[in-house]
Amino acid sequence: MAALRTDGYDILSGVFTLAEMRQLADVLSYADVDRTRAGARHILGVAAVRAVATDSRILAIAHSFIGPSAIPFRATLFDKSPDANWLVVWHQDTALPLRQRNDSPEWGPWSTKGGLLYAHAPAWALEQVVALRVSLDDSLKTNGPLRVLPGTHQEGVLTEDQIEQRAREMRPVDCLASAGSVVAIRPLTVHASSKARSDHRRRVLHIEYAASTNLGAGIKLVAG
């Protein structure tokens, strides 16, 4: 797990069983959630998702990175298939869902997604967050896996030009993970995902954890 601290990501194999992933995928295929071509946002309220997010095996991983008070606050399903073969450009995950607006110049711009208020956060807040990506299917070189630029999480919040420069200059790493594995990634790690070159479906349950939902000065995360 030391790799997450130095490289900004880590791959933990065999956290869940293949049977558990098949069952979860089946439940999610029938869940009453708002879907897009790429999957579904704000699904922490789904009982099966909440069960995974609070499972002792994955909580132990979250605790090891951000402390014993780590709590899940957001869950997203990514679903890449021949019918929805999308790509994601190089970026950092800097927007957090908040309970209310604040006047601090550190936060913003603001937006609304799925009925929740979002603001781009400062580095100190994002450093209290880790994302744990549960692989429902095997993530292969040919089905558009998560790609990362190691160590970029240590550079703070980057501009679009800086991100593009890092992408030109650095060698990316493909995060290949079998079903049941967990890929841990820091929000500030520059990452992307290319289009798949095969028919092999890739579903990932992306769960974000924070050291606390209270970020100080009346700034609170909202779960979704």
Give me the DSSP letters along 118-171.
EEEPPHHHHTTEEEEEEESS-B-TTS--EEE-TTGGGG-SPPHHHHHHHHHHSP
Total residue count of the chain as it appears in this document? 224
Q: Does residue 6 sit within a domain?
A: yes
Residue 20's SS3 state is helix
Q: Does residue 41 sit within a domain?
A: no
Of 31-40, 72-81, 106-115, 142-151, the poorest mean pLDDT is in 31-40
Q: Can you list the alpha helix ranges (DSSP code H) found in 31-116?
A: 47-53, 56-66
- pTM for the full predicted model: 0.95
Average model confidence (pLDDT) across the chain = 93
Instruction: State residue 2's pLDDT score.
Output: 65
**148: which 2 tokens?**
């990362």
Q: Does residue 119 sit within a domain?
A: yes
Instruction: State residue 40's pLDDT score.
Output: 92
Q: Does residue 155 sit within a domain?
A: yes
Q: Does residue 213 sit within a domain?
A: no
pLDDT surpasses 70 at 171: yes
181, 15 contact by CB (below 8 A):
yes
Enumerate residues 6+ apart whose C-beta is below 8 A from 31.
40, 43, 46, 48
Give the tens place of pLDDT for each residue, 172-197: 999 999 999 999 999 999 999 988 88
Neighbours of 88 (CB within 10 A): 16
Instruction: State residue 115's pLDDT score.
Output: 86
Name the residue range of residue 115's domain. 2-20+78-200
Q: Are strands 110-113 and 116-120 parallel, antiparallel or unpaired?
A: antiparallel
Distance CA 205, CA 44 (A): 10
Instruction: State residue 119's pLDDT score.
Output: 95
For 112, phi then psi, to 5°, come to -125, 130
pLDDT surpasses 60 at 1: no
**154: which 2 tokens?**
């240590």
Which CATH number characterizes residue 86's domain? Answer: 2.60.120.620
* Total structural domains within the chain: 1
Q: Does residue 54 sit within a domain?
A: no
Exposure b/e, 169-200, CB count within 10 A at least 16 = b = eeebbebbbebbbbbbbbbbbbbbbbebeeeb
107, 185 contact by CB (below 8 A):
no
- As a whole number, mean pLDDT of residues 43-59 equals 96
Q: Does residue 214 sit within a domain?
A: no
Q: Does residue 60 sit within a domain?
A: no
